[in-house]
Chain A
Amino acid sequence: MMKTIPRKQLLAELSKVVPRDILLDSDEAMRPFECDGLSVYRKLPLLVALPENTAQVREILVSCNRLGVPVVTRGAGTGLSGGALPLEEGLLLVLSRLNRILEIDPLSRTVRVEPGVRNLAVSEAAAPHGLYYAPDPSSQIACSIGGNVAENSGGVHCLKYGLTVHNVLEVKMLTAAGEEIVLGGPSLDSPGYDLLAVINGSEGMLGIITEVLLRLLPLPETAQVVLAGFASIEDAANAVASIIGAGIIPAGLEMMDRLSVEAVEDFIAPGYPPGAEAVLLCELDGGEAEVAEQMLHVRALLKENRATSVTVSASETERLKLWAGRKNAFPAVGRIRPDYYCMDGTIPRRELSRVLAEISEASHRFGLQVANVFHAGDGNLHPLILYDGNAEGELERAEQLGAEILHLCVQAGGTVTGEHGVGMEKIDSMCEQFSAAELEQFHALKAAFDPAGLLNPGKAVPTLNRCAELGAMHVHGGKLPFPDIPRF
């Protein structure tokens, strides 16, 4: 069971089993760890531990388990949903020092890494063998593999190459009690339940990841990108449907709305068409002949769908320049207002125009601008709500608008989070997406892995009480979401 103990006691207990200098206990030293990429939530933990090897991780877990101290795991801290937000009464376990690439096997096309290895470092290490690691979340220069697995991270190439879960073969983890369990392996499947599928995206709630075996893919022979401008979002959305309907699976298919396009033009001038209501970036990769064949087809489809401009990259430099606009969209939008709040809903593609129109309506109603950047190929939206954290009540309004956008996504048959995770941020929206029985099933599954409930408690899956307390905020069709449980 979870207990609250004083900082001094935890420090004394852990100092017995691990070197004192891997533990941080002063407020000043712990300050950099008080939040992850979602900085509106901040909290100082009871203690920070920065273990250097798996043996130390195990010692720390065994002690915390004995003392009943909850453990929040953190990788590079780039997460966007507050999943690594510390708990006041808990230990923050930072795995960034477990950063060795243990083995690359070019013949089997696998790489074995510790959880603190950065995503991009994997592809860099594999490159001499003509291989790479496909999932490329936008934070790939900084984010680490352990966090990628915990969040089941995506990226711009998901439609063709899948999410993290599709590219992980094995995970070694420690339970809250410090017991090692191996999920998956070098073979393509394992006997019994596919728990590897469950650990991906489990947000540090089920186990502490200590080693990961990743699948590598051959580097494509070539890649080419085409940029198209449109006079309406609807035309752009129709172009997306046409491309996919024609049997083409692009490596990346990204859309940006007018506000985002203007912001990046002001910021780095990538040469996006002025005055376009939407731009579409479509990347094709594969063999030279295949890419050339498909590019002809895509260009024709863009024109058919009334593209107002079409630019194809003629060189690698041009390809990177066209992508630079999309990749700088967040910081560019960040220059319009002091703060932005990034949403992460996913909807069926066919709902795109309708949902965007409703977001626009809500944006006017709340008096906050929304810039839309999204992975059009897989329906994953990243509306950026612009606000000023120093202006009275704006953050609260931004959060309310955010909740309304997630509500729109759920109503459209989608989900509240496509790739950023629930963490602390979207925990209340989970009450809307799932029934009481479904949430209880999640809790039961967690208890199978973590019976004492010590790993990242309070994140990812809300308690029924929390949902009940929220009931007033989530009244739909005159019915409370959980009419059969007590109210507080």
Chain B
Amino acid sequence: MDQQQQILDQVRAALEAKSPLALQGGGTKSFYGNPSQGAALDLSGHSGVVEYDPGELVVTCRAGTRLAAIRELLAQNGQYLPFEPPALGDSATIGGTVACGFSGPGRPWNGSLRDYLLGAKIINGRGEVLAFGGQVMKNVAGYDVSRLMAGSMGTLGVILEVSFKVLPRPARELTLVFECSQDEAILRANRWSALPLPLSAASWHDGRLSLRLSGAVSQTEKAAEQLAADELSEDQAHWRRLREHELDFFGSASPLWRLSLSPACPALNLDGDCLLDWGGAQRWYTTTESTGEVRAAAESAGGHATLFRGGSGADRFHPPAPAMAELQKRVKQAFDPHGLFNPFRMNSDW
């Protein structure tokens, strides 16, 4: 249902009253980031697919559309969202998915959520409805504001509508398993990524490296033969469970950290359990090590660390360098000069 006018009225009233808003979609990722502040603005009712023409490889939806509904619609046409967004719950919406900017196991090979985001309609902090980008794949008119929405945690504006590039589903997928150490897994995943193989995912946990091959039937089978895995299967459940954090690893009571690193860096010297995804570029830790220890380890590996679930601390996200922090704040002010949307959600200073 189109609730744009209703949402716009609510934003303008909040602007008038100088009363901040906490933007809400399906509520499946409310644990993520710093705590929300402000009156709840429910966006889940602003839903529906506005346009989908499979031949154009583009889908346009209102922000409240459920991710599951979009997946199903695309699947009926043999297509999918190649960034494999984690839903983390049935009620996840596409707007919330964009705001969090999560991408699934295929990210290093297929690209991220922001890579597939072609256009966005938003309400900025002045109560104006703005549209950026569009439904075409090549568009360099004006700054790429739509991609800026990916991962902005709803702090720049209310996302009303988004357009994504979609792709045909691969004809065949195979899962290969190799028994090896973490360092060996990192080395293999990176070496194989430099070869023309139809690799589309690589994870490691507890001595097992799992690889996914996706593509033409002939090509995946040839690659599977070449790689000679310890186990070979057509079952893709592992990747869905990894994406949705349903593997046993994610059930730990310890705080869950997400480390985004230079993919080939060797295993880090951190206590706790480690699950490696994205061929080494994304590493999950359940650990009781201090925030300082985890962040220092991530920085030494060319990356950053997010306290994803559990634990405590003022800033869930890795603090940027001072010049960058200042720039980020000015960007926030350029969109939301009165600090109306999701105050402190992304940065404890604003």
Query: What residues of chain A have their CB less than 8 Å away from a CB belonging to chain B?
Result: 105-109, 129-131, 151-152, 154, 158-159, 162-163, 165-166, 179-183, 185-195, 197-198, 200-202, 206, 218-221, 241, 244-245, 247-249, 286-287, 289-290, 292-294, 346-350, 375, 378-380, 413-422, 426, 430, 433-435, 437-439, 441-442, 444-449, 451, 460-461
Contact = CB atoms under 8 A, between A and B. Distances in A.
A200 B320 CA distance: 20
Contacts, number: 265
Nearest to A160: B167
Interface stretch (B23-31, B36-44, B194-202, B203-211): B194-202
B196 A219 contact: yes
Report which residue of A194, A202, A219, A249 has the largest number of chain B beta carbons within 10 angstroms of its beta carbon: A194
Given A191-B317, A194-B147, A245-B55, A290 B216 contact: yes
Interface residues of B, number: 89
Given A187-B262, A188-B278, A346-B136, A289 B216 contact: yes
A293 B217 contact: yes
Contacts of A187: 260-262, 281, 302-304
Interface stretch (B148-156, B232-240, B284-292): B148-156
Q: Which 5 A-B pairs have the closest CB atoms?
A: A247-B168, A289-B218, A418-B138, A197-B147, A187-B303
Contact of B128 (A158, A166, A418, A437): A437
B330 interface: yes
A166 B111 contact: yes
A107 B264 contact: yes
A193 B152 contact: yes
A290 to B, nearest CB: 4
B148 A193 contact: yes
Contacts of B108: 188
A109 B69 CA distance: 36
Given A247-B168, A448-B334, A438 B57 contact: no
B38 to A, nearest CB: 20
B331 A347 contact: no
A359 to B, nearest CB: 17
Contact of A191 (B58, B130, B318): B318
Given A107-B187, A241-B55, 4 more contacts: A187-B261, A190-B304, A441-B335, A447-B330
A430 B132 contact: no
B143 A201 contact: yes
A245 B194 contact: no
Given A201-B140, A413-B135, A415-B134, A247 B171 contact: yes
B101 interface: yes
5 contacts: A151-B140, A165-B115, A201-B143, A248-B168, A415-B138
Report which residue of B54, B131, B196 has the largest number of chain A beta carbons within 10 angstroms of its beta carbon: B196
Contacts of A447: 330, 334
Given A186-B262, A187-B302, A445-B334, A414 B168 contact: no
B306 A191 contact: yes
Contacts of A218: 193-197
B231 interface: no
A448 B318 contact: no
B327 A163 contact: no
Given A188-B281, A191-B304, A422 B141 contact: yes
A378 B138 contact: yes
B196 A442 contact: no
A445 B327 CA distance: 10
Contacts of B333: 448
A228 B43 CA distance: 49
A193 B151 contact: yes
Interface string B266-288: 00000000000010011000000
Contact of A186 (B136, B216, B219, B303): B303
Interface string B322-333: 011101101111
Contacts of A446: 143
B150 A194 contact: yes
B65 interface: no
B134 A442 contact: no
B168 to A, nearest CB: 3
A415 B136 CA distance: 8
B323 A179 contact: yes
A197 B347 CA distance: 20
Contacts of A200: 144
Given A286-B196, A348-B56, A380-B138, A197 B114 contact: yes
B143 A442 contact: yes
Contact of B331 (A430, A437, A448): A448
Report which residue of A166, A182, A193, A194 has the largest number of chain B beta carbons within 10 angstroms of its beta carbon: A193
A350 B56 contact: yes
B272 to A, nearest CB: 20
Given A218-B194, A289-B219, A290-B215, A348 B136 contact: yes
B319 interface: yes
B334 A244 contact: no
A198 B55 contact: no
Nearest to A287: B219
Report which residue of A131, A220, A249, A418 has the largest number of chain B beta carbons within 10 angstroms of its beta carbon: A418
Contacts of B111: 162, 166
Contacts of B167: 249
Given A187-B262, A197-B144, A286-B196, A348 B135 contact: yes
A189 B148 contact: no
A181 B324 contact: yes
